[in-house]
Each structure stands twice: as C-alpha cells, then as structure tokens.
Amino acid sequence: MFKTIANLLSRNGRPAGRSTDAPRSGRRLVVAKFDSAQTTAENRKHWANADGLAPNAAVNPEVRRILRNRARYEVANNSYAKGIVLTLANDTIGTGPRLQMLTEDADANARIEDAFDRWARAVDLSGKLRTMRMARAESGEAFALLVSNPAIASPVSLDLKLIEADQVCTPLLRRGRADEIDGIVLDAWGNPSAYRVLKRHPGASGLLRAPIDDLAAYDTLPAASVVHYFRADRPGQLRGIPDITPALPLFAQLRRYTLATIAAAETAANFAAVIYTDSPPNGEADPLEPMDEVELEQRLATVLPGGWKLGQVHAEQPTTTFGEFKREVLNEIARCLNMPFNVAAGNSSGYNYASGRLDHQTYFKSVRVEQHYLQLAVLDRLFKAWLNEAVLVEGLLPQSMRTLTGGAVTLPEHAWFWDGVEHVDPAKEANAQATRLANHTTTLAAEFARQGRDWEQELRQRAKELTLMNELGLTPAPTATAGNAPAPQKDDTDGNEDSDRSEDPIRAQVSVA
C-alpha cells in the first residue's frame, strides 16, 4: 500500500501528473460554474474582506467595541439615527406589556394581574424595556440583572438592573478558555451557565486613577439571574452587534453630503459678485488687479471698467438632487430595520392611503415578531422570577397559585398584551369589525387584543356603564350590526376599493405563552 502511494507522488511530494511549470504561489485554482465564486481583477477589492470566520470569532470583542462606539456616536449626533432608534423602541414596547392570566380561576387571575401590574409600575418595567430595545439597536445587546431592591414600593422586591454590554466580558486572566465566550461561561452542552460581569464600567470616569485590582474586579453570576437580550444572526452566535451596523456608513455619507451641500451654498453666497471678461489674455480690456476686493454699497449703480462684466457665483454642486439623495439613503438605512421610509423620515407627504398600509405590513409584522421574542427572552423569565418571590409574600397571591414544583413555581397559562395601533380610518375599521363579529369569523377577545385591551375588563366596564345609564334613564345608542352596517366605501386617495372585510395589518397582536 505504501509503495502504491509513493508511486503516485513525485520526488518533491507533488502528484506525479502535475506539470512542473505550474505556479508555485501556493494559491489553489478554483474551477467553479458560479460567477460569484470567481475572483477577478474587477471584484478582487470588493470581496477583499470576505472571510470564513466562525460566528463568535467574527463578532470578537474588539469588533463589537468599535461597532458599539460608532453606533452610539451616530445615534447621539444624528437626528435621523436618534429618531429611528426612538421610534423602534416606542413602536415595539409602547406603554409596556400587560399580563392576562388564562387559568380557570377568574378571581385568582384578577389578583395576579393587579399585583403584577402594581409591581411593573413600581420598577418602571416599560421604561426599562424601551431602554433595552434602544440598547440592542445601538449597542447590539442589553443585559438585565434580576436583583433584590428593598427600596421598591411593592411587596415583591424583585428589580431589573440594566447594565451595558461593555461590562459583560472575560477578564484578562481568564481569556483563551474554550468553555467561555467573552464573559459567557458555557456548560457541556453549549448553554450559558454563568456570566462574568465587571464591577465597574470600563469607560467610567476616574477609571484611569483606580487601582489595578478594581479594573479587573468582576462577579460571576448564574445564568438564571441574567437576562441577555440580543439577536443571533448566525447559528451558535452568543453576542450581538448593533441593529444599525449596515447603516453606519450610510449615516456618514448622509452627513458628509449635507455638509458638502451647505458648504457649496455658503461658498457661493460669500461672493456678492465677480468681475470677469471674455477677452483673451492681453486683449482689449482695462487692466485690473486680480483677486482685488471692492466694497459695494446697497442700491448703488456703477460703471464697470471697459471689457469687464459683472456676475455671481452659483452653487454648481448638485443641490437640486439633495432631497432625492437623502430620501434614497434614508430608505436604504431603514431597510435593515424593516422600517418604511415614511416612518424613518417622519414624512408621509409622498404616500397615499394604499401605499402607506402596504409599506407598514412588513414593519408591523417585524414589530410583532420582536414582541414575541421579548415575551420568550425577557417577560416570561421575569414573570417566573416574580412568581417565585410573590408566593413567599403572605396574602399577595391566592392559595391555588402558591404551589411549588421542584422548588419553583410552575408558570401558569397566560398571555401578554401590547399597545394597539389606531386605524387611519376608524369608520372603516368599525364596519369591518362588526361584519367579522356578525359572521363569527372573530371573537371579542381577538378584537380587543388588537387594541391591546383585555376583553373581560372591557365588558365588565361596559356592563357597569349600561347599568348606570339605565339607572339615570339614559338610552344607549343603537348597536350597528352586519345588516345595517354601511356599505364599503371607495378609497378616494388611489381610486381602488378598500375592502372593509380585510384585516388591517397595522395592529398589535396578542401571543399566548
């Protein structure tokens, strides 16, 4: 066998059939049928940064540090970047999620919902969730520590302590370990088991004067006490990069183009007038001193030297295309966030009704996906931690919910409600809603969920109102049914009939855990 292998190789260890005239550069010749796999003189520079790094190697600590710093700088200094990040957080979180229990015990459901709502207000849960969403957009990820805070005005002292991604990292003395990826300790199955959290932020003021022991001081927290909110773009990725990473060069281009346009206009405005001649050099024109300045008075008529004309400098830089350029760049910036142009720019002047609804479908679907991920990654874990402490408070929860299974409370069936989005045509939506209810193609629970409201609470409130109205002798307005509902109207903005029976995609959804 060894003799056969030796016969296949030449004396220099290369295949015997290989020509000695082959290039010795060490490069392998790629024979491919795909144009994108070919490396040519034209595309060599374009694909120069393409690599085969593993997901966690590609987003190594230094790369993430640079991206975080640049994204934070852009959001802090660019009004469009700031507005986009704020809009994304406001549309995703709104005024905050609301818990609805779905167990068969109505009284227990109401007590748990009220207790959790009071606690969420005490810790400002909605504000912290908005901060986490903004942090993911500009820093790539957000961390929240589940801690005990006795200062909270609530029987449950659980609190969320938000920390920046800079504080979660592997200390210098522990780097190079195979079971740890930049502050995340992994178990034998690759699941996060603990997090290394620096006691001080690396960018804290006065850090340069701190002792070296303080710079490396860290805590190792169990994974059950840490909420890590990020988006994994590749399988096995454990740390996140800013959502606006692809748009960072575009933000820079937009700012440079804006400054160039202003500079061109200012340069043209700085020269009130110029004197020029069409005569050739040494032609018939009175001699003048080049670049000489003349003070002009207002409303003054004057005579120019012979052979000379008076003109003005124009901003030849293409200022007329500034609006179109800005629109295209903003549209490209917003695309990586699944956000339509009119939401990113805060300007719908170029939209009609149908275009606005169509563009919003992708955006609000991505918002619903993000809300569902928040429920799994943050809210359910938070609710379970809250229940584990709430059962220890005497009289806070009903006895039926104070059942421990394996040292922890079993998470009961529940759902999360998010803010609804108002329809641009409330009359059309009301007619469509009445038709769906009459046809039994929807339920009151689903219709109220679209508005981010609890159907049981709304019906109880309506019953109270009707009782009081009967008491006062007031007659309720007649309820519209499918039989007397107005016929569908035509959309005047685009001339197409907008079916009232089609479900509006610009809605907040409810997801059952």
* Residue 247 contacts residue 330 (beta carbons within 8 Å): no
61-77 and 79-93 are packed helices; what angle lies between their axes, rounded to 10 degrees?
A: 100
CA distance 74 to 196: 29
> What distances in angstroms separate CA 155 from CA 99, 159, 208, 469, one per listed residue?
18, 12, 41, 38
Give the span between the Cα atoms of 405 and 384, in whole angstroms. 12
DSSP-assigned states of every residue in 131-172 = HHHHHHHHHSEEEEEEEE-TTSSSS--EEEEEE-GGGB---G
The average pLDDT across 120-143 equals 96
Cβ atoms of 174 and 218 closer than 8 Å: no
Q: What are the tens digits of pLDDT across the range 393-445?
A: 888 888 777 665 445 667 889 999 998 776 666 777 788 888 888 888 888 87
Query: Which distant-in-sequence residues (6+ apart) come within 8 Å of 19 by Cβ?
Result: none
401 within 8 A of 466, measured Cβ to Cβ: no
Q: How confident is the model at residue 37 (pLDDT cuts 50, 70, 90)?
A: confident
Total length of the chain: 513
Largest CA-CA distance found in the chain, in angstroms, rounded: 110
Q: How many helices (H) and strands (E) does the chain have?
A: 15, 14
pTM: 0.75
Q: Where are the beta strands (DSSP E) in 335-448?
A: 404-405, 408-409, 414-417
Q: Where are the alpha helices (DSSP H) in 296-352?
A: 322-335, 341-345
15 touches 8 (CB < 8 A): yes
- For residue 492, CA distances in Å to 352, 495, 502 come to 10, 5, 18
The token duo for 268 is 């043209």
Q: What angle do CA 217, 223, 226 make, to 5 degrees?
A: 75
At 266 the pLDDT is 76
Q: What is the pLDDT of residue 25?
A: 57
369 or 285: which carries more pLDDT confidence? 369
**Which range among 42-51, 157-166, 242-251, 477-486 shows the weakest confidence by mean pLDDT?**
477-486
pLDDT band at 502 (very low <50, low <70, confident <90, very high): very low
State the pLDDT at residue 303.
63
In this model, does residue 493 exceed pLDDT 90?
Answer: no
**Phi (first) and psi of residue 59, to 5 degrees:** -105, 50
State yes or no: pLDDT of 225 exceeds 90. Answer: yes
Q: Which secondary-structure segment (H or E) carries 229? A: strand 226-230
Instruction: Give the tens place of pLDDT for each residue, 66-111.
Output: 999 999 999 999 999 999 999 999 999 999 999 989 888 888 888 9
pLDDT recorded at residue 509: 40
The answer to whether residue 314 scores a pLDDT higher than 60 is: yes
Residue 279 tokens read as 């005569």
| Cα distance between residue 180 and residue 220, in whole Å | 12
Strand partners, 310: 275
Residue 313 has pLDDT above 80, yes or no: no
* pLDDT tens readout for residues 135-158: 999 999 999 999 999 999 999 999
HSE value, Cβ hemisphere, 13 Å, CA-based, for 419: 14
Taking residues 118-139, report their average pLDDT: 96
